[in-house]
Each structure stands twice: as structure tokens, then as C-alpha cells.
Amino acid sequence: MLKVENLEVNYGMIKAIKGISFSVEKGEVVALIGANGAGKTTVLHTITGLLSADAGRIEFDGKDITKTPAHKIVSMGMAHVPEGRRVFANLSVIQNLRMGAFTRKDKAEIEKNLEMVFARFPRLKERVNQLSGTLSGGEQQMLAMGRALMSNPQIILMDEPSMGLSPILVNEIFDIIGKVKADGTTVLLVEQNAKKALSISDRAYVLETGRIVLTGQASELLNNEEIKKAYLGE
Amino acid sequence: MLNFLTYLVNGISLGSIYAIIALGYTMVYGIAKMLNFAHGDVIMIGSYLIYTFMVTGGVNPLLSVLLAMVCCTVLGIVTEKVAYKPLRGASSSLAVLITAIGVSYLLQNLALLIFTANPKSFSPVITWEGISLFDGELRIQGVTIVTIITSLIVLVCLQLFINRTRQGQAMIAVSEDKGAAALMGINVNNTISLTFAIGSGLAAVAGALLCSAYPNLTPYTGAMPGIKAFVAAVLGGIGSIPGAMIGGLTLGVIESLSKRYISTQLADAIVFSILIIVLLVRPTGLLGKKIQEKV
Ligand SMILES: Nc1ncnc2c1ncn2[C@@H]1O[C@H](COP(=O)(O)OP(=O)(O)OP(=O)(O)O)[C@@H](O)[C@H]1O
Ligand SMILES: [Mg+2]
């Protein structure tokens, strides 16, 4: 469903992504793991058009989206939960959620979607009118995920959803990712928490300084000695 | 007492004009994160357009204002696309500021070239005499009343537009986070254009009101009200729409009362001193908000 071929991305003179290829099939959860500065965020930003590719090709649902501007991506069925949540701080929870459905016209379906998001994140329902900037970090993460779900996407790209959260909240967030998958939504998950990420993923790619150095079934990677040493701290 | 009331009402009226101009500053700042120093000159261009339509072309006043609004809207969109957009994402925000000053000079000199430096006197757009209260002791001019009412209508419409329409919501989202807004499916470039369009259209309205109150049009007509409105926007908290309104009114009233009770020469100095004092006490302006970002 999502196919990236020989992607290269530069920041001026700095080569951040040095020709990577990977794919995500329908219904899969695929993890992209790597250390700080490996280029994970850059990859996601390039897929959704916030950055432009210097070389290579990105294909989604059979369509070439390499040059598609960011604002046209969401209506194609791809949502992006960006690094650092980036909720609209001066808008309330409900306004943020409705922002997620900005491009949709099907009023009745949007309301159903909203109910579904509230069912998934009861805490958001308790705080519908609270300004998002005053939510806790975990609540903001839920809001960012809920906002992405409001576009009723086929695939969600998530950038470090567990960042900065307490262990209990991390578990909660990963539970939710599991449920999103169970609903049939495809997920491309970027994480530094490799253990957690691998435990809920089908497959994974390991990114190191702009190159993919390893790939395989998540269960295999969990038992891979190199991975254990470098990413699982064992 | 009645004397005080007269100056107060005049101040509110002057302040309403500042407020309408300040709305343009504040909206553009909120969304494009730039200080559009050419904004005052759009008022001047708008005024010349009204003058041309009305005096030279013999078009009816209201229609002239509407036509000028349309032209200024286009002018706003074009300047943004040609002069400012290429600099978006430039490493220094100074570049766009200097460009705006350049656009300001360009517009002034363009007007100088076409209309010369000779002041054009404006036959008022608003011909209504106004009302008299207390047996004619207190007279309020038609211009004053129309100005105040116009600015109220503008504020209400703008608030409704921003809070009730999709485009308005898009503006809020873009003002907070362009990238996140784009991920929601919002066309950021179009939203910025729309903001410039609204700000410039309002500048034409301000031009009409300004020239009705002070019928003396030169290529530099827009400069001083532009700066005062900028002060008003900062005073109210730049980026905040109600802030621009309150800042504008405060400024107008202070200016008018200072002229009456302190000194005509010192009025401007007083206005700017107040800005400095407010910023010392509340750096974000009267209604500016600080949002603590969560990491
Ligand atoms: N705007 C930028 N300008 C210049 N270099 C950048 C910019 N953004 C990122 N980089 C560089 O590109 C490389 C990849 O950064 P990226 O943010 O994609 O890493 P990441 O894998 O997401 O890291 P993290 O886990 O810390 O979020 C880094 O070396 C970073 O310094
Ligand atoms: Mg990152």
C-alpha cells in the first residue's frame, strides 16, 4: 500500500536520508526503528509532503505521491501523527478533533467517527472543552492520535507516540495502536522504544544514519543479537 | 463635561479607524508571522482609488469604496505572492521585514508618480450631518457615528468568520502550526493569501473612513495611521483580534484626550510612551497570551 524507493533527502548540504527503500502492506504494522538522528522523522515528513524528496519515489495506493503537497495527502487516506504531538494548543479538544476531519464533507459519518474516537479515548471525552495546550503530555498524545483517526485514514504514520510518557501511559498508547490495527488500519510506526515497537509490529526496518541496515519479521528482530545489544539494552 | 464627551467620542471614532487597520496587521502577523509594514500604504492606495472612482470617475461613493476594496484585496494577494511568499522559510525573518519596507516605499513612490505630491482633497464619502444632543450642546458628526458602527460590524463579521467558517478555522490552525495544519488538509498558501486579502480589503475601508474624517490625501497619508495602528496591535497583543480592537480604541481615546487636555504636539509622544509602559508591564500586550508548550 505504501512503497518507498531509493529515497534521498537533504537538508542543504547535509544528507539525512541516503537512498532507502521499504514498503508497508495493507493491514500491517511496520516499525521503523533507529537511534536519535537516524532520520526517522525526516522519512515520515517526506512521505506526507512536509519535506520534499531529492531523489527517489514514494507510492501510495498505486499513486505516485512523491511531489504531492502535504495538504492533499490526508484526503487520500493517509494520516500523520507528528513528532511532539503538535496539537493546536489554543483550540479545545473537540475543535482539534474536528480539525482532523477538515477535508471531510460527510457530516453523519464524522459524528460516528467522533463517537468512535471518544470510545477509544474516554479521557478526551471528559475534557472536550478543555484547551489542548493545558492537557498533560499523555492526553495530548491521545488527542494527536484521535485527531489523526478523525480523517478515517487507511494508513497512519506515527512518530514516537511513546516519547516522554510514563510506563503506564506507554502501555496504554501501545494498546491503542494494537486496537487501531485490529480495526484494519495500517500503521507505520516510528519508535525509539524498540522493544515495545517490535512487540506489536509485524515487520520492522532498522535505520542508521540515513540507511536501512536491517529488516525482517518483528519477532525475528526481537531475538536478533545485534538488535538486542544496540536497541534493546540487553 | 460635554466637551469631554465630544473628545471622547472623537477618540473612539479615531480609535475605530486604528482598530480596523490594526486588524490587518494582527491577522497577517498571526498567520504569516510577519510585520507587514506596507499595510499603511495599502490604506493610502485604497484612498486614492476611492478618490479616482468618485471624483474622476463620478461613481457613487459606496460603490467606489466597494471597488477600492476589491482592488486592494487583489493588491494584497499579489504583493504577498510576489514579494513575501518567496521569502517564506528564509532563514532570517529580517529579510521579509526589509522587503515589506521596500514595498511600502514602492507604493508611496508609485502614488507620487501617478497622483503627484499635491494633496487631493476629498469630498466626504459620508455626507450625513450627524446628530445633536442636549439642545445642540453636544454634536456628533455623521462620520464619527458611521466610523464607530462600521468598525463594530467589521469586528463582529470577522469574529463570526473566524469562529464559524471552515476558512476561519483553517486560519486559526495555520496561525498555530503551519505543518500540522497542512497535515489536516489545509492549504497553507491559500490561507495566507486569504488573510492578506482580508487585511487589505479592510485597509480600503479604513482609507474611506480616514479620508472622510481628515480630507487631505497625499502619498504619505497611510504612513502615520499605519504606525499608530501597529502600536495599537502591539498594545492589544499582536495576533489577537479583540486585542487589535481594544488597542485601537485605547490609542484613539488617549490621543484625542491628550490633544484636548495636555498638548496637541505631545499627543503622539504620549501615545508611544504608553506603548512602552504597557510593554514593560505586559510584554505580550493587553490580550496577548502566553501558552506554555508541553515537551
Ligand atoms: N531542519 C533541519 N536542518 C538540518 N538538519 C536537520 C534538520 N532536521 C533534521 N536534521 C538532521 O537530519 C538528521 C535526521 O534527523 P531526524 O529528525 O529525521 O532524526 P530522527 O531519527 O527522527 O531522530 P529522533 O529520534 O531524535 O527524533 C539528523 O542528523 C538531524 O540533525
Ligand atoms: Mg524524530
Distance of CA A33 to the CA centre of its chain: 12
Cell of B71: 482592488
| pLDDT tens digit sequence for A198-210 | 999 999 999 999 9
Ligand 1, CB cutoff 6 Å, lining residues: A 11, 14, 16, 34, 36-42, 83, 192
Q: Residue B289: what pLDDT? A: 65
* Burial of B274 per CB tally in 10 Å (0-12, 13-18, 19+): middle
Q: Residue A234: what pLDDT? A: 63
| pLDDT tens digit sequence for B60-83 | 888 999 999 999 999 999 999 999
Domains of chain A with bracketed CATH: 1-77+188-234 (3.40.50.300)
Q: Residue B266: what pLDDT? A: 86
Distance in angstroms (rounded) separating the CA atoms of residues A172 and B216: 68
When mean pLDDT is compared over A157-166, B134-143, B265-274, the highest value belongs to: A157-166
Q: In sequence order, what DSSP letters do the residues of B142-201 get, joined into one string?
A: HHHHHHHHHHHHHHHHHHHHHHHSHHHHHHHHHHH-HHHHHHTT--HHHHHHHHHHHHHH
Nearest to A42 by CA among A76, A2, A14: A14
Cell of A9: 533527502
Indicate which residue's Cα is closest to atom 4 of ligand 1.
Answer: A11
Least CB-CB distance to B176: which of A90, A98, A102? A90
CA A38 / ligand 1 centre spacing (Å): 7
Helix, strand, coil shares, percent, chain A, to 5: 40, 25, 35
Question: What ipTM does this complex have?
Answer: 0.93
Residues of B within 8 A of A136 (CB-CB) are 294
pLDDT bucket at B130, cuts 50 / 70 / 90: confident
Question: Which ligand is the nearest neighbour of the Cα of A32?
Answer: 1
Residues of B within 8 A of A150 (CB-CB) are none
Least CB-CB distance to A90: which of B166, B182, B291? B291
- Which has more pLDDT, A156 or B276? A156
Indicate which residue's Cα is closest to atom 25 of ligand 1.
Answer: A36
Helix (H, G, I), strand (E, B) or coil at A214: strand
CA A8 / ligand 1 centre spacing (Å): 14
When mean pLDDT is compared over A20-29, B129-138, B236-245, the highest value belongs to: A20-29
Q: Residue B5: what pLDDT? A: 86
- Which has more pLDDT, B45 or B276? B45
| pLDDT tens digit sequence for B258-290 | 988 888 888 888 888 888 888 888 888 888 765
Residues of B within 8 A of A85 (CB-CB) are 294
Helix (H, G, I), strand (E, B) or coil at A212: strand
pLDDT bucket at B238, cuts 50 / 70 / 90: confident
Least CB-CB distance to B169: which of A70, A72, A99? A99
Backbone angles phi, psi at B37, to 5 degrees: -70, -10
Mean pLDDT over each residue of chain A, to the nearest integer? 93
CA A188 / ligand 2 centre spacing (Å): 14
Q: Give mean pLDDT, residues B5-27.
A: 92
Q: Residue A230: what pLDDT? A: 79
Indicate which residue's Cα is closest to atom 22 of ligand 1.
Answer: A41
Question: Chain A residues with CB-CB distance to B under 8 A?
Answer: 48-50, 69-75, 79-80, 82, 84-91, 95, 98-100, 102-103, 133, 135-137, 140, 147, 151, 164
Q: Give mean pLDDT, residues B221-243.
A: 90
Q: Give mean pLDDT, residues B204-213.
A: 90
**Per-residue pLDDT for B172 more than 90?**
yes
